[in-house]
Amino acid sequence: MDQRDKLYIDGAWVPSTGSGTIEVVESATEEVFGSIPEGTEEDIDKAVRAARAAFDDWAQRPAEERAKFLTRISEGLAARMDEIATVVTREVGMPKSLSLMIQAGLPMMTFKSTADIVSGYQFEEEIGNSLVVKEPVGVVGAITPWNYPLHQIAAKVAPALAAGCTVVLKPSEVAPFSAFILAEIIDDVGLPPGVFNMVTGYGPVVGEAIAAHPDVDMVSFTGSTRAGKRVSEVAAQTVKRVALELGGKSPNIILEDADLERAVTDGVGKCYLNQGQTCIALTRMIVPRSKLAEVEEIAVRAAESYTPGDPFAEGTRLGPLASAAQRDRVRDYIQKGIEEGAKLLTGGPEAPEGLEKGFYVKPTVFSEVRNDMTIAQEEIFGPVLSIIPYDDEEEAVRIANDTIYGLSGGVWSGDVERAKAIARRIRTGQIEVNGGAFNPNAPFGGYKQSGHGREYGVYGFEEFLEIKSMQL
């Protein structure tokens, strides 16, 4: 049992002002394996006051000094990669081998790459008789999700600290333990008290307190579009800056000249990564009607290779979902797809055979999906692929853009220039061309109701800067 009974505020581990605790459940066994404090509005106020008091000194330190702290945090994460991967696998269900690379590896890289960015960044430029100065935005409230818990924390905390901001973090109560590891590392490297603070708890209490607090200058939130709207509403009362990374229903257009075997197999994998618990999952595969039968055959073969199982077992490609609520939600969507007339090719709403315990869902593929069906419009966050046929290129683009979301997407073609031309027409913040790899240094964020603002690389760093003009 991993029982945490303290929050990290003002450079020290302190008890919550409340007495509640939150149990953390292992996704593969449904058993409680730890607990964390149920933080309060008063805890947030203490953390924000500490961050405000620490801001002036931290903001005025040389960028190179801040970069050295980030590098040391990266080294601390590297030393605890296996521990981080293990706890995230227990919480979220991602197979351990993938967790090592993604859940533990990416946060370590983010702290290191952000150190490199700030070390060489030009904070001043002259425009005519003006000196334009870029300064830290202030106290940042970071509210992060459970699906990539430490990765999403790093995407906010690293650039905020690098910019000279101080931080109050609220990690997800579903997958909190990697945040405690980060706080321990930050404490070990000697970051000044109040620069980083962490309060665990529920969104409607702790999250709302962050968004509402008058001394928080910016809120950076990753989560559902519904929750993001609420953060914006609350934050608007104090006119603070808000960065949102929200949901997605990403299209994957396969043109008729594409290598179908490669494109479909890759598309199934991009839909099923982290059991589909990925905001950029390519969940809508948009394919030529003339190739539908061939696409279906390849998709079923690929999907059925993702056998669900123990995420710590060798060879497991699909672990459990993160919670009972998420499992039930995904199974309800699968049932809805059947009821609305989509063609079920493989999978279904029942528990996988032999896996009645644990939050498992069968890898599922629907075909002959219409874009007005629920499973084509709403974010499912599970291993569920919708194959949608089209008759011509214009219809494919129209289907791709027919959604409230605009987070990610993909285009496949035998002609890379043709694929790029189609990609330019998709209203989305990032898009893969012929399976292009995720780039953690490129800007990441969405159009439409997928949010606003960008994370990662220089663009993500600049989200945490204010701009001042000095007229000389």
Q: Taking the CB of residue 291, how many other CB atoms lie within 10 A of it? A: 17
* Most distant CA atoms of the chain, gap in Å: 73
The backbone torsions φ and ψ at residue 440, rounded to the nearest 5 degrees and listed phi first, read -70, -5
Nearest-angstrom CA–CA distance, 163 and 219 = 15
Nearest-angstrom CA–CA distance, 135 and 106 = 27
322 DSSP 8-state letter: S
The neighbouring-strand residues paired with 209 are none
Nearest-angstrom CA–CA distance, 323 and 92 = 8
Establish whether 271 is a catalytic residue: no
164 DSSP 8-state letter: T
318 DSSP 8-state letter: B
Establish whether 296 is a catalytic residue: no
151 and 102 Cβ atoms separated by less than 8 Å: yes
Nearest-angstrom CA–CA distance, 330 and 27 = 15
Nearest-angstrom CA–CA distance, 306 and 311 = 12
Nearest-angstrom CA–CA distance, 265 and 271 = 10
| DSSP assignment string, 228-281 | HHHHHHHHHTTT-EEEEE-----EEEE-TTS-HHHHHHHHHHHHHGGGG--TT-
* Residues comprising the chain, all counted: 472
Determine the residue type at 149.
Answer: P
Choose, from 245, 296, 379, 463, the residue flagged as catalytic. 245
Choose, from 26, 279, 379, 432, the residue flagged as catalytic. 279
| DSSP assignment string, 161-209 | HHHT-EEEEE--SSS-HHHHHHHHHHHHHTPPTTSEEE----IIIIIHH
CA torsion angle 457 245 436 300 (round to 10): 160
Could you list the active site residues?
A: 245, 279
